[in-house]
Structure 1
Amino acid sequence: MRYLTTKEASEYLGFKSVKTLERWRKNEDSPPYFQQGRVILYPLDGLIEWIENRITT
């Protein structure tokens, strides 16, 4: 399984700043993540699933 840092996850989602993900974490509306020490990591599989669940048709 591959993990992305906050910066990598922000870039993957097309954001110019990590602030959006930081705000979402505080509002409990973020993609799945875990914290290891001071580092926050996003599982790529979880990020993809989170995106797919938000697609509306």
Structure 2
Amino acid sequence: MAKEIENPCISVCQLSGDLCMSCGRSKEDIRKWKRMKRPEKMAAVQRASVRLKD
């Protein structure tokens, strides 16, 4: 069985517009996280990682 994708939240929410500046996720990704399937979570984590590097 595949390992669960870890939630990137670090419990320091700093929203700027539609993005959290702490974890890099969008408000939509944060809201949908618990209902996302594994591939969706992987994509959300990848997008967040790219945002945090910018």
- Into which bin does the TM-score normalised by the smaller protein fall? 0.3 to 0.5
TM-score if structure 2 supplies the norm length?
A: 0.36
Tell me: higher relative CO, structure 1 or 2? Use CA pairs within 8 A at least 6 residues apart.
1
TM-score if structure 1 supplies the norm length?
A: 0.35
Q: Which has the higher strand share?
A: 1
